[in-house]
Amino acid sequence: MSDTTLDAMTRPRAAASDLYRAVWRWHFYAGLFVLPFLITLAITGAAYLFRDEIDMIVHADIKRVEVAQTDTLAAEALVASAVTAVPGRAVKYTDPPAPHVSAEVTVATEDGRRMAVYVNPYEGYVLGARPDRSTVMWTVRYLHSLRYFGPVARGVIEIVGGWTILLVATGIFLWWPRGQAGGVVTVRGTARKRVFWRDTHAVTGIAVGGFIVFLAVTGMPWSQVWGGKVNEWANGNNFGYPSGVRVDVPMSDQRLTDTAQTSWSLEQARIPETSPPMDGAMPIGLNAAVAEFERLGLHQGYAVSLPSTPTGVYSGSVYPDDVAQERVIHLDQYSGQALVDMSYADYGPLGRWLEFGINTHMGQQFGLANQIVLLVVCAGVILLAVSAGVMWWKRRPSRSMGVPPMPADRRVFRGLLGILAVGGILFPLTGASLLVMLGLDVAMRRLRGSRSRAMA
């Protein structure tokens, strides 16, 4: 057999080996950066899936009430009881989402704090009070979103999301069957052998990889650059409300997210204003506003933000497990007329898709099945991280990071870098971090080359 024939036979193998090494190298880098964050997100996300159940256990003294055979008291009576216990101005009333749950009144105190006051809806006495959004599940939510770490953390979410997609894509390439007998859907060896951890990592990754990409994409709306821009597109015009869902009234500079928890699509939606009537008519009051919200069919568990100025409105909003029941209604505080009545069906196509994804991401849309599936995915993410760490530890050379070797033909990087560039354009902060990682990789290789030449 001639040398030319041998060269023709070995060239495809060498090219395939080079491509495998290039992908493996970037899979390693992606995992090095992402896995610490994914472990944190998996643990906090798994807990937050059961936020209502956990909060009802941890804060049972203020959230759980005994169901009475009598009707619940009027909203104004519950607010009056809350303000008596915690002096200040009531800014929000939250209807009990179930018969065994307390009503919640948010009070702005004179010292600038916002307190959540929990009231028995049947008897009207105060069960307790604590700073607004300070329950254990609000703490978990802020840890999950990295909100405790400042505005830079929203940028980190976008970077982690983009790198996670890269991690899954390169992982699928490395998993792809190439004639091996195991490690595709079965695990070989025992826990003492590296092949066991390699197969565990590969099989787990292919089982939960699609779910991880879904969670990464649906988590992107909270990112700084990508999420902010997409939010602008999803909101459309008319102050965040599509035409046809509001009457022609002035809009204030206040955003819906400033007054109550809202859906992602309506974070930038502005709150309308009302004009005090010339005849000196008085506001309709909270009881009448609640009656109108219920007449309009607002889902149980809604929150009502109270007007704080003569031009304010009663803003009723609800975001139940079923995304189709999401709704926001703003009432004129004097006439009770609905100035804005917007539901999930009124969102644009992008907004509906993202809201559905967010609801599923939070374990709400499909009930207990949704929670269990995502709990298994969170456990899979932790197993991926553990198996990756053990696998790396078993193969790494002494006194070395164990970075997978460079391909012999550097040209194989061109196609890979092209794919990375497309991802960088779609997710700008991820693209910037890819450039930084690429620069560090080049600098480290040159530094090692200089040391090798110096020792020669």
Q: Where are the domains of the chain?
A: 25-49+146-223+369-455, 70-132, 237-347
9-13, 79-83, 89-93, 96-100: least confident range: 9-13
User: CA torsion, points 245, 246, 252, 258, in degrees to nearest 10?
Assistant: -40
pTM (predicted TM-score): 0.87
Residues 446, 95: Cα–Cα separation, whole Å: 64
Q: Is the model's pLDDT at 315 over the cut of 90?
A: yes
Q: Is the model's pLDDT at 307 over the cut of 50?
A: yes
The per-residue pLDDT for 8 is 44
> What's the mean pLDDT in 164-184?
85
186-190, 217-221, 240-244: least confident range: 240-244
Binning pLDDT at 50, 70 and 90, where does residue 354 land? confident
| Chain centre distance of CA 308 | 31
Q: Show Cβ contacts of residue 326 under 8 Å, excluding neighbours closer than 6 positions.
A: 263, 318, 319, 320, 343, 344, 355
Both tokens of residue 62? Answer: 């203020």
User: Span 70-132: which CATH code?
Assistant: 3.10.450.40
Q: Is the model's pLDDT at 257 over the cut of 60?
A: yes
Integer angstrom CA distances of residue 118 from 83, 90, 91, 103, 107: 11, 13, 14, 6, 11
Residues 41, 359: Cα–Cα separation, whole Å: 17
Residues 397, 393: Cα–Cα separation, whole Å: 9
Q: Is the model's pLDDT at 288 over the cut of 80?
A: yes
